[in-house]
Amino acid sequence: MNPYIGHDSQVYGIEEHRLVGGKGDGMRLLEVNNGKGLELTVSLDRAADISRLRFRGINMSYFSPCGYVAPAYYDCVGGNWLKSFTAGFLTTCGLRAVGSPCVDEGEELPLHGTIANQPAESAYWLEENGELVVRATVKDEVIFAPKLRLMREIRVSLEKNEVTICDTIENTGDTKQPLEILYHMNMGYPLLDEDSVVEIPSIGVTPRDDHAAEDIENWMHMIKPQAGYVERCYYHKFEKEGKASIYQPKLGQGLEITFDAEELDGFVEWKMMGVRDYVLGLECGNCYPDGRDVMRRTGMLKFIEPGEKKTYQVKVRMFSN
């Protein structure tokens, strides 16, 4: 025990809060502080995603105009997912669909799936082996339908400014099911602006469409907010280790994302330089966001058997200078 302090929260810790008012009324938030400059907010009622990320008092992530939106407002029709897209640092897409709305083998699938709008059924946190650990269980299970369960563990180091997200997905139903997941991680101002240095050491870059191809030579260059900007997406391929980073020279701060590129083999750079819609997505996943029907046709679609568990891990490290 530290003889200088009365309560651990003087230095580090986790506190639970609830929002009051607006569409986020009543939502449970965990404020996590490692005492070394890393602060993040875990949104328990939105799949235990990370809604805010700060390093040494500087915001690192993007927060969309719709703000916090409780699951009760979720609209699963077509692209209406965007009406509750808080973005934040992490929005999880999946688990049965990622990307464009589509019809796959007779099943109508909405934009980016449903898991991000599911509240955690149970959650708890503790200090363990020099880390603050949040564990949450999120169920995406329906009667007469597929049943998938997400067991999420978020580990925040008390020694280093890094956070590890470890997800175990279980098929709790009795039929083989498609499994798609995308870690929609969103960089925002002031970390992101026209001076940001973006590095993605991939072995190949492919534009998502003709619009992205027109400016592929500038995939790594950010620009000032542009009225009427149309998003551009680039798909990056890695060998074994996936890595992407962004650094803001004016602040002397940045972050790096690492992941197993054999397990998460679909990395997306989402470049959106619009006015107020100003965000850079550095998104690792096991698919691309073109719709499940396209992933099936290209042979990239993954599956999970009844009773099977599948684990994915992503690490985010803060750095300075």
pLDDT at 166: 98
> Residue 35: left (phi > 0), alpha (psi -120 to 50), or beta?
left
Give the pLDDT mean for 16-42.
98
Question: For 94-125, how does the pLDDT look when each residue is reduced to its tens digit (9 = 90+)?
Answer: 999 999 999 999 999 999 999 999 999 999 99
Can you list the domains of the chain with their CATH numbers? 8-320 (2.70.98.10)
Report the sign of the C-alpha dihedral through residues 229, 214, 235, 315, in that order: negative
Residue 321 has pLDDT above 90, yes or no: no
Among 106, 105, 81, CA closest to 94? 81
Residue listed under structure tokens 């592929």: 216
How many whole angstroms separate alpha carbon 47 and alpha carbon 300? 25
Place of tokens 């955690």: 120
Q: CB of 314 within 8 A of CB of 165?
A: yes
Q: DSSP alpha helices (H): ranges in the chain?
A: 210-213, 292-298
DSSP codes, 100-136: S-EEETTEEE-TTBSGGG--EEEEEEEEETTEEEEEE
Question: pLDDT per residue over 176-213, tens digit each?
Answer: 999 999 999 999 999 999 999 999 999 999 999 999 99
As to burial, measured by CB atoms within 10 angstroms (0-12 exposed, 13-18 middle, 19+ buried), residue 228 is exposed
pLDDT digits (tens, 9 = 90+) for 247-278: 999 999 999 999 999 999 999 999 999 999 99
What is the predicted pLDDT for the residue at 46? 98
Cβ-contact 154, 174 below 8 angstroms: no
**Is the predicted pLDDT of residue 155 greater than 90, yes or no?**
yes
24 touches 52 (CB < 8 A): no
Q: In 3-state terms, what secondary structure has residue 297?
A: helix
Predicted structure pTM score: 0.97
